[in-house]
Amino acid sequence: MSSKFLTSRINNITLKKENPEPMVLELNINIMEEANLKDYQKVTILHKKSGKIFITYVKSCLSGDISFQSPGVEVGDQIELLAFSYIDEKDLGSMESVHLYLDDNNQITKIIKGKI
């Protein structure tokens, strides 16, 4: 039997520009790799200012200009990203959860990894 676990979390993402594709989060490829995220992976976004929750997908970009577009979300706002995966019971203990913390320039300041 499998259960859903938090496998990636990125805290304090600062939006640097508006994405021309509504409801698509573009993240720097280095951040995506560090967080074990894949292009077009389903993610949950928490908008810190409004408390709104968005379900969308993530795409990689080469620039550091993290972008997202949705009503009520503005450039300069901070969001948090959560990604979940189904993990089979037999794989528990061999899987890893990654939590990244970013500064205001979206540079990684802290990485916490833990076994699931």
The pLDDT profile of the chain, 116 residues, written as one tens digit per residue, is: 889 999 999 999 999 988 888 899 999 999 999 999 999 999 999 999 999 999 999 999 887 789 998 888 999 999 999 999 998 888 888 888 999 999 999 999 999 999 88
80 in Cβ contact with 10 (< 8 Å): yes
Sequence-ordered alpha helix ranges (H) in the chain:
29-34
Distance, in Å, from the CA atom of 106 to the CA atom of 27, rounded to the nearest integer, reads 10
Using only C-alpha atoms, the chain has a radius of gyration, in whole angstroms, of 14
The CATH number that applies at residue 55 is 2.40.40.20
Q: Which range of residues forms the domain containing residue 79? A: 2-115
Per the structure, the count of domains in the chain is 1
38 in Cβ contact with 57 (< 8 Å): no
Query: Which element (helix H / strand E) includes 100?
Result: strand 96-102
pLDDT reported for residue 37: 97
The structure's pTM equals 0.90
